Amino acid sequence: MNYTENYKRIKIDIQAVDTDLPDSVEQEIRDSIDKLIRFGLEMNAVDIYFKSEGHSHLEEYSIGMRVGIPGKDIFSDEKGNNWLQMLRNVTDKSIRQHQKNK
């Protein structure tokens, strides 16, 4: 699954390698962007990379998120087995990086 969307004037590029994402992930992505906006990130783009490795019940997922902001971009990643929780975690990591670099 690969798609690009403009949400609140922010270009979102989603790439899912070898995996199908549940519909709830798309809404969680928008919720994550709303949260980043609330914390003052002036974004022009967000790239999110989803990857699934392993077989059936032994699958491990990984997410990488690049937040395009003026200056140096923010990148965070997470590994686990729950897409929604991992997406929340990379969002929180991005916020912490932004606050640290202010």
**pLDDT, tens digit, 9 for 90 and up, residues 64-101:** 999 999 989 999 999 998 999 999 999 999 999 999 98
What pTM, to 2 d.p., does this model score? 0.90
Tokens 């392993």 belong to residue = 54
- Alpha carbon 53 to chain centroid, angstroms: 18
What's the token pair of residue 97? 């990086």
Look at the chain and count its residues. 102
Q: Per residue in 37-62, pLDDT tens?
A: 999 889 999 999 999 988 777 788 99
DSSP 61-74: EEEEEEEE-SSS-E
In CATH, the architecture of 2-100 is 2-Layer Sandwich (3.30)
